[in-house]
Amino acid sequence: MTKLLVLNTGGTIAMNENHSTGTVSPTNTNPLKEVVGLFDYIGQVAIEDVFSLPSPHITEVHMLRLQERVIEACDQGYDGVVITHGTDTLEETAYFLDLTLDLPIPLVITGAMRSSNEIGSDGLANLRAALIVAASPNSIGKGVLVVMNDEVHTAAYVTKTHTTNVATFQTPTFGPIGLVSKSQVLYFQNHLHQEHYKLDHVGKSVCLLKSYAGMDGRLIDAVRMSGADGLVIEALGAGNLPPQTVEAINRCLADKLPVVFVSRAFNGVTQDVYDYDGGGKRFRQAGVIFTTGLSGQKARMKLSVLLNAGVEAENLSSYFEL
């Protein structure tokens, strides 16, 4: 029988609602452990609490611990691993693991938008779907997968798009790569590109800023002077900024601080098209790194992983062209 391991990290999927106040809080016992037997028809399921944290509390230190536990699970003979996680930072943990693990078994991350005792709770349905995906041989080699609302997304591009809707996780521009139907997963896209970096420590400081009309260089200079190791900016349009930011960006580049641009737009990719003061063409010529389809939080995670993996600043651009 297929051996599956569920690693719980906390989040709404492992919380309960106080019906008198409407607040949602962690519980003393993980409610998922009470129902894991429901999934015996999928495989032999073991569940383990790695930690019990709301996802805003998750750091890259926790992500590295998860990475190490997943590697152990492979060595222990598990055929697939599911991680339950709070949804606020789920996409970042998923991408961290996608960048730092090259697995011979499926790794799936799921969560819930409604706690276990709320009407319309989605936790059990998402866990069931995730286990089906993790148990499928067709999921091998597809990288880390995020399964929510019966959709299968790649870790690289999925993002949370709604604060409360159960259909919150979407993949802008590209869409999901598969669907869970009854007791099987159906794939209709391939994840064409995967990249993996050996990582056994974290600690680099990478900041993320969002651009806006009339933005000047004060925040950019503050990041540079804080001792940060890298900066990601959600730029305007395809990769532009107000002209008041140019000198601050140039100071970052002169100090060898890597600067990466993504677009603050929901769909599309960055391109160095516009040749004016603050235009993407001039920023790229100056040494700013452009990405292809990554969100701000994903680009920040990738830059952090690359720096922690020891990639030199002058070589970073080629890694974002992958």
Residues annotated as part of the active site: 12, 87
Residue 239's identity, in one-letter code, is G
Buried b (16+ CB within 10 A) or exposed e, 21-31: eeebeeeeebb
Cα angle 227, 90, 134; round to 5: 135
Strand partners, 240: 236
Going from the C-alpha of 107 to that of each of 85, 137, 237, the distances in angstroms are 13, 12, 34
Largest interatomic CA distance in the chain: 62
Determine which helix (DSSP H) or strand (DSSP E) holds 250, and give its type and residue range.
helix 246-254
Contact 232, 262 (CB under 8 A): yes
Q: Is the dihedral of CA 74, 76, 77, 79 positive or negative?
A: negative
Q: What are the distances in angstroms from CA 154 to CA 5, 13, 187, 231, 310?
A: 20, 20, 12, 24, 25
- The residue among 221, 225, 227 whose CA lies nearest residue 206 is 227
Scan for tokens 């389809």, then name that residue. 293
* 58: DSSP letter: -
What is the CB-side half-sphere exposure of residue 266 using CA atoms within 13 A? 8
